[in-house]
Amino acid sequence: MSAVASYDFERFAILVVEDNGFMRHLMTSVLKNLGFGRVDAASHGGEAIDFLRAIGKSPSRGGLMSIDMIVSNWQMEPIDGLELLRWVRRAKDSPDRCVPFVMVTAFADMPRLRQARDAGVTEFMVKPYSIATLCNRVLAVIERPRQFVSSPKFFGPDRRRRARSRGHRAPGSEGQGRRRRLRPELTR
Amino acid sequence: MSDSDNPDWDEHPPEGHKRVRFYRFRNRLRDKAGGAANQSVIILPEVIARAEATFQRAGKDYPKYVQGTVEHLVKLCADAAGLSPDQRDGHFRQINQAAHEFKGQGGTFGYPLITTFADSLYKFTGVDAPHTDATSNSCAPTSTRSKP
């Protein structure tokens, strides 16, 4: 029987950004119960930026060298999750432009999803969510990291999640359905 | 140094050129979480159960939280009804934001009716919704409604 190991998130540091106190407390508690060693919280994008800037200036601040993942709500004031994401990916004083960013939102429409994707989001979690959904997103960040793309108009995880399937069609799938074409929007 | 090594290339590529770079990093997070390559790694069921219990406990406190927020919404509606249309924007924005939050929370804690109500309130108070005295009147308590 092959041994199955379990993840140990004790050395992870996560930043939760949520303006609603009830939900912020819940998300923080849940992540701690999932075993994440350090969970910091900010009540809006601006507070998160200040926190991340402080880490960038003094990496050993409070014993924290870096943030491994950001879990942020979208709609917040005065600085929302999308602006925070743009700052993380583009600002020169962002401590880690490649940090995984999970956007949590009740906006489930395609234009919003595209907006987040084009700003460089790593994973998207639509409310209402469950523990299983949260675990799936965390595991996706850890187990299926995408290559980063830097172009004049975009910086973030590769938006073409199926890019790796190019040239690797499943046996017996020849001629089934229309052949998927990779969107050339980034490489043109 | 070739053109492609020029750090200004990304910001100001030569005319007719677009620069795209791909970065493939070592999976630092998987290493950090103790997941060796080619090994099946899971989050233990008991760990998920512990987190689920936290979630359930929060669900029990949710009605109290909702009660407080609904009272706040009623106050906002009453205040908005007493103001002129150009002074109500802030109130409607706050109501709209509260509705947006409720929209996601209701389903999360097993109250789908809250999500349905919040979705309706969100659309009603959104930027595309008509903000007229009639709509403001309809959401104000009877005692504070302005007479036509």
Instruction: Give the ipTM of the model, two decimals please.
Output: 0.71
- Domain with B124 in it: 42-144
> Residue B135: pLDDT above 60?
no
- Name the domain count of chain B: 1
For the beta carbon of residue A177, count every other beta carbon within 10 angstroms. Answer: 6
Tell me phi and psi for residue B119, to 5 degrees: -60, -40
Closest-approach residue (CA) in chain B for A144: B27
The answer to whether A34 contacts B48, with C-beta atoms less than 8 Å apart, is yes
Could you tell me the pLDDT band of residue B133, with boundaries at 50, 70 and 90?
low
Residue scoring higher pLDDT (B133 or A17): A17
The answer to whether A152 contacts B40, with C-beta atoms less than 8 Å apart, is no
Percent helix, strand, coil in chain A (nearest 5)? Answer: 35, 20, 45
Mean pLDDT of chain B: 77
- Sole residue written with tokens 């790694």: B41
Q: Do the domain assignments include residue B54?
A: yes
What is the C-alpha to C-alpha distance for residues A81 and A6, in angstroms, rounded to an integer?
A: 31
Q: Provide the whole-model pTM.
A: 0.77
Chain B partners within 8 Å of A143 (Cβ):
30, 35
Q: Do the domain assignments include residue B7?
A: no
Per-residue pLDDT tens digits for B20-52: 889 988 888 888 888 666 677 788 889 999 999
Interface of A with B in 13-32 (CB under 8 A): 20, 22-23, 25-26, 29-30
Q: Do the domain assignments include residue B130?
A: yes
pLDDT of residue A180: 41
Q: Do the domain assignments include residue B19?
A: no
Per-residue pLDDT tens digits for B117-128: 888 888 888 777
pLDDT of residue B132: 62
Q: Is A100 on the interface with B (CB under 8 A)?
A: yes
Strand order in the sheet with A148-151: A154-157, A148-151, B21-23
Q: Do the domain assignments include residue B119?
A: yes
What is the C-alpha to C-alpha distance for residues B6 and B17, in angstroms, rounded to an integer?
A: 13
Percentage of chain B modeled with pLDDT above 90: 5
Q: Do the domain assignments include residue B14?
A: no
> Residue B2: pLDDT above 80?
no
Per-residue pLDDT tens digits for B86-113: 787 888 888 888 888 888 788 888 888 8
From first to last of its 188 residues, what are the pLDDT tens digits of chain A?
456 778 889 999 999 999 988 899 999 999 999 999 999 999 999 999 999 999 888 776 656 678 999 999 998 889 999 999 999 999 999 999 999 999 998 888 899 999 999 999 999 999 888 899 999 999 999 988 899 999 888 999 999 876 554 444 433 343 344 444 434 333 33
Chain B partners within 8 Å of A145 (Cβ):
25, 27, 29
Q: Do the domain assignments include residue B98?
A: yes
Q: Do the domain assignments include residue B27?
A: no
